[in-house]
Amino acid sequence: MGTPLHVLIIDDSEDDAMLLGRQLRQWGYEPDWARVDSVASLTEALERRHWDLILGDYSMPSFSGTRALAMVRECDPDTPYIFVSGTIGEQAAVEAMRSGAQDYVMKGDFKRLLPVIERELREALTRRERRRAEERLAYLAHHDALTGLPNRVLFIDRLEQALRDARRRQRIVGVAFVDLDRFKIINDSLGHAAGDDLLKQVGTRLRALVRSGDTVARLSGDEFTLVLADMGNAEDAAWLGQKILDDFGGPFPIDGREFYISASVGIALYPVDGEDAEALLRHADMAMYRAKEAGRNGYQFYAAEMMTRAANNLALQNALRSALLFEELLLHYQPMIELASGGIGAAEALLRWQHPELGLVLPDRFVPLAEETGQIVPIGMWVLQRACAQCRAWELGGMPPIRIAVNLSARQFAEKNLVAGILQVLEQSGLPAERLELEITESVLMQDTDNAQAALGKLRDAGICLTLDDFGTGYSSLSYLKRFPVSHLKIDRSFVHDLPGDGDAAAIATAIIAMAHRLHIRTIAEGVETREQLQFLRDEGCDFVQGYYYSRPQPDEQFARYLSTCAKPAPDVS
């Protein structure tokens, strides 16, 4: 049995074709050949199948060799095409090679034809493999390997294309930024394979929600972006935002179990929110963050008002420079109730800014700005001094001794003399180290700097308690808990908020408490507002609770009064 070979012979002579067929057989091939000699028959043959080799006459009475070559090249650039013809002259031969023929062999010169065919079959194979590799590379360069969706490069490309169309036709283009809420938890608790599975399902589901002309891309991690091309009005985008939220209301099956995950969606529209791809993407991203801030599981439009917000931020940042100087900062205190005893275990010092025009400004509004400029370093030291002095003053005033909790920014850990500064404050205030609790967020633990790591160790050695704040919202990595000397862990109020009705929140809270206890870490639930939440946390063995249910953060004199009343038996919490 010879090597199978599909050969298309373009020749007006059946005899010549048969001769070629016979020769190929003699050379050890198993040729399955067909002969064509017109535009129609060639078109039909090219549509019918792929050919390994084409042997074509150059001059036929009713069909031109160059025309046939052009037709073949149009549908297949790789198949070897060899002219087998009578004398065609040097000029025509050169022309034929230029137009994409591999070689030219005189009819009857079989001695030369065989090596030419062998060589060209080999080269065609190489060409095809190279092309496939190139196509694969081009695909990889434009797609996300996990979900098969377009990646950032292709996304920008498609967005730019949509913008060009929209400019011409005066249409609206929407860019949606979709970020999964608390994806990290699924990833960490169920493993990466489950996380990957979820991401794939999210990709498929988003794809199913948009029209075929729209693009769904995965930018990175749990960030997906959509190009909503050619929209009639902005309401279409709102409708899609809602559709995404509704769709995510349905479960995601993973390993035979059902999981729920919500998403936060930010939307920016061309032309109102930006003219180019980069601006639109950035603004959709900002809008997504606003959706997160607004409590997740929602969508937000960018809208120009956010620019005003940015301008305001700048003004606020400038005003903040003088806040310390003009003594505009103050602290409010919020109790943490120890559930076992019912007494006040500690108070958290929460920063406030009495702005001359804006009134009382809350930290979420200005602490991030102070972190950006580094002002949080002196401000943070001021908070520490004030809080420690106050705590000691209460005690000296005859109140029961409680611990004072102070929030530290990750930014403060970049300071070389942070630990020395803290120890000095303790000494000056006369407050024992055990009575100070420092609240840090996971981002501090994630900082790889030796400085941060060493600082945490030294603080703990000095006897200061370290509390991991807002647990569950960041990396939520258990391995960090094991490695760091954390004594308390605060369950983020976003979980507490959904207790006890929400199954996911309940499962997460229960798991955090159980896991913390196994690591000998005490748990605090923040944002407790209702009796039901309290009951749930008590049943699960949570150690401390903090929230409006007991008390809002209050100014020092008011807190002192509260403290003195609570020195008697603790308020009824059962």
Binding residues for ligand C2E (CB under 6 A) = 334, 350-351, 362-364, 367, 376, 380, 383, 407-409, 439, 469-470, 493, 526-529, 546-548, 553
Using CB distances below 5 to 8 A depending on partner kind, what does residue 383 bind out of Mg ion, ligand C2E, none? ligand C2E
Least distance in angstroms from the C-beta of 405 to ligand C2E = 8
User: Toward ligand C2E, which CB reaches closer, 260 or 548?
Assistant: 548
Return the one option of Mg ion, ligand C2E, none that residue 472 interacts with (CB less than 5 to 8 A, by type): none
The correct pick among 57, 103, 214, 470 for binding Mg ion (CB under 5 A) is 470
Q: How far is the CB of 453 from ligand C2E (least distance, A)?
A: 19
Give the nearer residue to ligand C2E in terms of CB position, either 147 or 546: 546
In order, the DSSP letters of 190-249 are H-HHHHHHHHHHHHHHHHHHS-TTSEEEEEETTEEEEEEEEES-HHHHHHHHHHHHHHHT
For ligand C2E, the closer CB: 102 or 494: 494
Q: Which two tokens stand for residue 417?
A: 């003399």
Site for Mg ion in 421-460 (CB under 5 A): 439
- State how far Cα 414 lies from the chain centre: 27
Q: Choosing among Mg ion, ligand C2E, none, which partner's interface includes residue 195 (Cβ < 5 to 8 Å by kind)?
A: none
Q: Which of helix, strand or coil describes residue 378?
A: helix
Pair of tokens at residue 374:
């580094």
Per the DSSP assignment, residues forming a β-bridge with 216 are 226
By C-beta, is 162 or 464 nearer to Mg ion? 464
The interface partner of residue 236, options being ligand C2E, Mg ion, none and the CB cut-off 5 to 8 Å by kind, is none
* Smallest separation, CB 469 to Mg ion (Å): 4
> 144 is in the binding site of which of ligand C2E, Mg ion, none (Cβ under 5 to 8 A by kind)?
none
How far is CA 378 from each of CA 313, 416, 526, 553, rounded to the nearest angstrom?
Answer: 20, 13, 27, 23
Q: What is the DSSP string of 65-92?
A: HHHHHHHHHHH-SSS-EEEEES---HHH
Instruction: For ligand C2E, give the closer residue by CB, 190 or 330.
Output: 330
Dihedral angle at the C-alpha atoms of 86, 90, 95, 101, nearest 10 degrees? 50
Per the listing, tokens 């095409």 go with 81
* Residue 425 binds: one of Mg ion, ligand C2E, none (C-beta under 5 to 8 A by kind): none
Between the CA atoms of 271, 276, 282 and 285, what dihedral angle is there, to the nearest 10 degrees? 50
Residue 162's CB: how many other CB atoms inside 10 A? 24
Minimum gap (Å) between residue 537 Cβ and ligand C2E? 12
C-beta of 409: minimal distance to Mg ion in Å? 11
**Binding partner selected for residue 553 from Mg ion, ligand C2E, none, CB under the kind-specific 5 to 8 Å limit:** ligand C2E
Contact between residue 151 and residue 219 where contact means Cβ atoms under 8 Å apart:
yes
> Interface with Mg ion includes 407 (CB under 5 A)?
yes
